[in-house]
Amino acid sequence: MARQHTLSIIKPDATRRNLTGQINAKFESAGLRIVAQKRLQLTQAQAEAFYAVHSARPFFAGLVAFMISGPVVAQVLEGEDAIARNRAIMGATDPKKAEPGTIRAAFAEDIEANSVHGSDSVETAAAEIAFFFSGLEIVG
Ligand code: GDP
């Protein structure tokens, strides 16, 4: 296993319900270190760019509207096998299918307002981290 960085986003449904600390505690207790973090309000253009891979999907417009409906917390998580580990901690996209104990099982409202984003590969992690952070902002 390699030490990796992955991009995490605490989504607007979770910041609205003041869940940032509870979600961060799940990352930290699972052995992931938060090595960069910022709270920001995405613009429509930024949300469309971040989710460009989904632009042809029927849920794209709704997803973008949701992602700009309130602040998000963008983070870089560091750890052994961090990309897959974070995906396991997050749980399935649809909270009805998420394993008990995962963030989405505990906190997600529905398949769209599902509390967290996590990169799904080494390549997307690198691109997604660069979308939000400069190297100077990542302090391991
Ligand atoms: P993830 O990697 O688990 O976040 O899932 P995807 O990359 O497939 O989808 C990106 C995001 O789009 C998800 O986290 C949801 O917020 C949203 N999403 C995915 N599938 C659906 C869907 O069928 N309906 C709606 N409304 N939103 C969806």
Sign of the alpha-carbon torsion through 126, 130, 136, 138: negative
Q: How far is residue 61's CA from residue 81's CA, in Å, rounded to a whole number?
A: 32
Whether pLDDT at 1 is above 80:
no
Distance, C-alpha 112 to centroid of its chain: 13
Whether pLDDT at 124 is above 90:
yes
For the annotated catalytic residues, the residue numbers are: 117
Phi/psi zone of residue 91: left (φ > 0), alpha (ψ -120 to 50 degrees), beta? left
The per-residue pLDDT for 31 is: 97
Q: How far is residue 67's CA from residue 70's CA, in Å, rounded to a whole number?
A: 7
Q: Is the CB of 109 under 6 A from ligand 1?
A: no
Rounded to two decimals, the pTM is 0.98
Q: Which atom of ligand 1 is nearest to the CA of 62?
A: 26
Q: How far is the CA of 105 from the centre of ligand 1 (A)?
A: 15
Q: Which atom of ligand 1 is nearest to the CA of 93?
A: 3
The per-residue pLDDT for 10 is: 99
Whether pLDDT at 9 is above 80:
yes
Per-residue pLDDT of 61-79, as tens digits, reads 999 999 999 999 999 999 9
Q: How far is residue 56's CA from residue 48's CA, in Å, rounded to a whole number?
A: 11
Band (pLDDT 50/70/90 cuts) for residue 14 is very high
The protein residue with its alpha carbon nearest to ligand 1, atom 11, reads 112
Query: Which of the listed residues 63, 67, 104 should we mutate to test ligand 1's pocket, taking the one with most ligand atoms within 8 A of CB?
Result: 63
| Cβ pair 8, 117 in contact under 8 A | yes
